[in-house]
Chains A and B, each alone.
Chain A
Amino acid sequence: MGFTESRDATGVVMVQVEGQLIVGNRQELKELVQNLTDRGERRILIDFSRTGYIDSSGLGALVSISKRIREMGGELRLAGLNEDLRSLFELTKLDTLFAIAETPQQALASF
């Protein structure tokens, strides 16, 4: 489990979730994004292309992150969700809360 951070040519910061996003590491993701916003980053993409599964704590962390970025006047995109991961967002209606793109490339183009 882990998170890797990178930046594209247009300045969007991409955070890749590797492995699971669950109660044991959701705080780490929240702190990582908080550090990004504290240093002035306002366009953030979270990529789930290499994610296994997410639990409700992970979904809750994403809700908190989304709220924080919105309050800072920033934009958050999610991308790379496979069919199973996407179903978690649909079941919980969180697909209506987040801007979700099929691929990281599509998400980057939408900023």
Chain B
Amino acid sequence: MTSPLRLCVRRSPAPDAEGAATLVTVRLPSDVACIEEAVELVTRHCLAGHQATPKTRFRLQVVLSEAIANAIVRGNREEVGKCVYVRAELFTDVIRVYVTDEGCGFDPSVVPEPIRPEQLDEAGGRGLYLIRKLVDAVQFNEQGNSICMTLRRP
């Protein structure tokens, strides 16, 4: 069976204007069953040729899984026909990953922190909080349908 994921890796011998030597893009359908494979593909290509610590690999796997799940479930509302786009720009000292959905977007500033004692028993609401804790920087586009996560390589 053919994978529904579409992967493109561009490795250039010289870094581009911003200094990114490698660009990894993956397009996946709005199907949560595709998340694990997409995470493994992007992680493998992001860390190829670098001595990544297990902690860096773990953090990348968790935040990718989290951001792609948010994009599929909350952004695209699992609508068939809508896709999620992952774009990883690889620098010598930094990995920058964009995850973009085709939804309306949301306002990340109104998402409450989920660690107050009265909220611990809630099943949801930890995704964005976890991402913020596990990467070095998080940014959203104006529409709120694209997250940019930056991890420094150790």
User: Which residues of A line the B interface, CB within 8 A?
Assistant: 1, 19-20, 22-24, 52-57, 59-61, 63-64, 67, 84, 88, 91-94, 96-97
Contact = CB atoms under 8 A, between A and B. Distances in A.
A23 to B, nearest CB: 4
B123 A60 contact: yes
A44 to B, nearest CB: 18
A57 B66 CA distance: 8
Contacts of A20: 36, 65
B130 A91 contact: yes
Interface in B31-65: 32-33, 35-36, 54-55, 58-59, 61-62, 65
A93 B115 contact: yes
A91 B58 CA distance: 14
A96 B115 CA distance: 11
Contact of A63 (B35, B59, B123): B123
Contacts of A60: 122-124, 126
Interface residues of B, number: 29
A91 B133 contact: yes
A63 B127 contact: no
Contacts of B114: 92
A59 B126 contact: yes
Nearest to A85: B58
A88 B62 contact: yes
Nearest to A94: B120
Contacts of B62: 53-55, 88
A55 B124 contact: no
Given A23-B69, A56-B125, A63-B120, 4 more contacts: A20-B36, A55-B130, A57-B69, A88-B130
A47 to B, nearest CB: 19
A36 to B, nearest CB: 19
